[in-house]
Amino acid sequence: MHYDFQTLPQRRDTGSAKWEQMYRDQPNLGPDIVPLSVADMEFENPPEVKQALREWLDGAVMGYTDPTDEFFSACLGWQERRHGWTPKREWVVTSPGVVPAIFNAVRTLTSPGDGVIVQPPVYYPFFMAVEASGRHIVRNPLAVDRTGGTPRYRMDFDDLERKASNPANTMLVLCSPHNPVGRVWTRRELERVLDICARHDVTIVADEIHDDLIMPGVRHTAIMSVARPADWTRLVVCTAPSKTFNIAGCQASVNYVPDADVRERFVRGFTDVASTELNCFAYSATIAAYTRCDAWLEQLLGVIWSNYQMLRDFMHERMPEVEVYPLEGTYLAWADFGAWGLSPQGLERFMHEDAQLYLDEGHVFGSEGDGFERFNLACPDHVLRSALERLYAAARNAGLLGPNGGSQK
């Protein structure tokens, strides 16, 4: 079956958070502007998911709903089939999203005043989870390796060792694959993370929400496929179908907590704030996504990769001073506009007012992201092409480009 990734859904005035935010911030944007910011997709949902929801709704009573055997089987089977490890049913803890799961893990598995290690530039709710819980943010910034000519982020393991060795720092929130830089950590990298955290008794909360969104020639390694049983007392893994199948509104996250004591604390944290149930639509949507949508996902990945190549090649040919980083995973491209010499606020203003581009600004991922922009590639190719042409025209008009497309300084 051939799926439609060319038609742009009508999302304006539907309550879409991404679209509503764009028009609140920029009410004078033209009607043809599409936000390339928040990480949901400008594609229709998989038809198999929509059909499953219709079938469920026809016979449903929308009361309080618990997970069924079919739900557990779908979740466990997906991890085994797609990611090469076999979770146990009792390890599953559901939550209404990965972000609530991370907030809960920080609050329940650390103590007030503890340090929580993050690896910026990184998904900004990580900072929010730490600060909201009365813990301290401990930065272990990613480093950029240019030895191969192409820039590539890597973990600074020496710095991670130093930070983890401080007994006040009790948790690492790991983004795997990494949002926004697009790295997919290798097995060896994850082994080193596990070894460091084992030596210093640091709990790892692994956000693997982008684990299905892997580009050609790259393989995602689930941290549970590397972890030893001795690591389980320090490990929580957060996954969800929401990013992969564009069903964030169904509010379903599937978290794996292999240690019984850790799991009891984690579950109690949700119970204490009366957040113990999923949206009743979440179960049928998840079952369909994890059992009927492999073909849709494979076609989606081809579209994302093609869009990334378009972005990369456009910048190389027309705006070579803008450095697009390699994309290994996620549908989010990370681009460095630092050569333009604009402040973070100036770059944001240029994007919004001159280029009429609504992206995620790099500075929201930490100061390490200053001068960067994050492009959401989950859109029809004509939408991305139009956005890039607007960007080029605005940069030329602003005198940011030289006569051959180079930076004019």
For residue 404, what pLDDT is reported? 58
Q: At 236, which helix (H) or strand (E)?
A: strand 235-239
For residue 408, what pLDDT is reported? 38
State how far the Cα of 206 lies from the Cα of 391, in Å rounded to an integer.
35
Unique residue bearing structure tokens 């050569």: 339
Q: Which amino acid is at 346?
A: G
Q: How many CA atoms does the CB half-sphere of 262 hold within 13 Å?
A: 22
Question: 350 and 392 in contact (C-beta within 8 Å)?
Answer: no
For residue 402, what pLDDT is reported? 63
For residue 277, what pLDDT is reported? 81
Domain 63-292 CATH class label: alpha beta
State how far the Cα of 258 lies from the Cα of 255, in Å rounded to an integer.
10
Q: Work out the number of other CB atoms within 10 angstroms of the CB of residue 68.
A: 12
- Edge-first strand listing for the sheet containing 323-324: 323-324, 332-336, 372-376, 360-361
Q: At 171, which helix (H) or strand (E)?
A: strand 169-175
Q: Which stretches of 238-293 are DSSP H helices?
A: 242-245, 260-272, 282-292
State how far the Cα of 387 lies from the Cα of 235, in Å rounded to an integer.
41
Q: Does domain 17-46+294-395 have CATH number 3.40.50.720?
A: no
Q: Work out the number of other CB atoms within 10 angstroms of the CB of residue 144.
A: 13
Q: How many CA atoms does the CB half-sphere of 344 hold within 13 Å?
A: 13
Q: Give the three-state DSSP class for 203.
A: strand
Q: Which stretches of 4-156 are DSSP H helices?
A: 17-25, 47-58, 69-83, 98-109, 125-132
Tokens found for residue 384: 């991305």
State how far the Cα of 104 lies from the Cα of 99, in Å rounded to an integer.
9
Taking CA 380 as the corner, what is the angle to CA 11 and CA 376, rounded to the nearest 5 degrees? 80
Q: Where are the domains of the chain?
A: 17-46+294-395, 63-292
* pLDDT digit string (tens) for the chain, length 409 residues: 899 999 999 998 899 999 999 999 888 888 889 999 999 999 999 999 999 999 999 988 899 899 999 999 999 999 999 999 999 999 999 999 999 999 999 999 999 999 999 999 999 999 999 999 999 999 999 999 998 888 999 999 999 999 999 999 999 999 999 999 999 999 999 999 999 999 999 999 999 999 999 999 999 999 999 999 999 999 999 999 999 999 999 999 999 999 999 999 999 999 998 787 898 999 999 999 999 999 999 999 999 999 999 999 999 999 999 999 999 999 999 999 999 999 999 999 999 999 999 999 999 999 999 999 999 999 999 999 999 999 999 999 999 986 656 443 3
Unique residue bearing structure tokens 């103590």: 111
Tokens found for residue 383: 């939408």
In the DSSP assignment, the letter for residue 401 is B
| Nearby residues of 300 by Cβ (< 8 Å), 6 or more positions away | 3, 5, 43, 378
Q: At 145, which helix (H) or strand (E)?
A: strand 143-145
Query: Given this chain, do its domains 17-46+294-395 and 63-292 carry the same CATH topology?
Result: no
For residue 275, what pLDDT is reported? 81
